[in-house]
C-alpha cells in the first residue's frame, strides 16, 4: 500500500490513501485516508486491517468482497463514474 492508491471498502465507499504513518506506540503502519465522497473527514486504520478477511455474505457487505478493502485502478473508478 502507498499514498495515491484507491481502495473500495466492502460497504461500497471508495477511499483515497493520503499517506502511510507509523503508530508511535507500536511502530505499526497506519493508513491515512479519506472517502472520495466526503473529503472533510480524515480516517486512519492499521494497514493490516485493510486486508483482513471478511464474510462475503455479511449483510452490510454490499460488494461481496472477501477482504475489508480491495485496491481498484483509477481507470476502473472512471468507468464506474460514467
**Per-residue pLDDT tens over the stretch 18-51:** 999 999 999 999 999 999 988 899 999 999 999 9
**What is the domain extent for residue 40?**
6-70
pLDDT in the model for residue 18? 97
Is 52 part of a structural domain of the chain?
A: yes
Is 21 part of a structural domain of the chain?
A: yes
CATH number of the domain residue 33 falls in:
2.30.30.320
Number of structural domains (the chain) is 1
Cell of 60: 452490510
Is 78 part of a structural domain of the chain?
A: no
pLDDT in the model for residue 56? 84
**Whole-angstrom distance, CA of residue 73 vs CA of residue 77:** 7
Is 81 part of a structural domain of the chain?
A: no
The set of long-range contacts for 49-53, using a CB threshold of 8 Å and a minimum separation of 24, is: 50/1, 50/7
Is 10 part of a structural domain of the chain?
A: yes
pLDDT, tens digit, 9 for 90 and up, residues 63-77: 989 999 999 987 777
Amino acid at each position: 500500500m502507498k499514498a495515491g492508491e484507491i481502495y473500495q471498502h466492502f460497504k461500497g465507499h471508495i477511499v483515497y490513501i493520503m499517506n502511510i504513518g507509523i503508530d508511535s506506540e507500536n511502530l505499526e503502519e497506519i493508513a491515512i485516508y479519506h472517502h472520495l465522497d466526503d473529503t472533510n473527514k480524515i480516517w486512519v486504520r492499521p494497514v493490516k486491517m485493510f486486508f483482513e478477511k471478511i464474510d462475503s455474505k455479511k449483510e452490510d457487505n454490499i460488494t461481496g468482497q472477501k477482504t475489508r478493502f480491495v485496491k481498484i485502478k483509477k481507470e476502473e473508478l472512471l468507468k464506474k463514474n460514467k
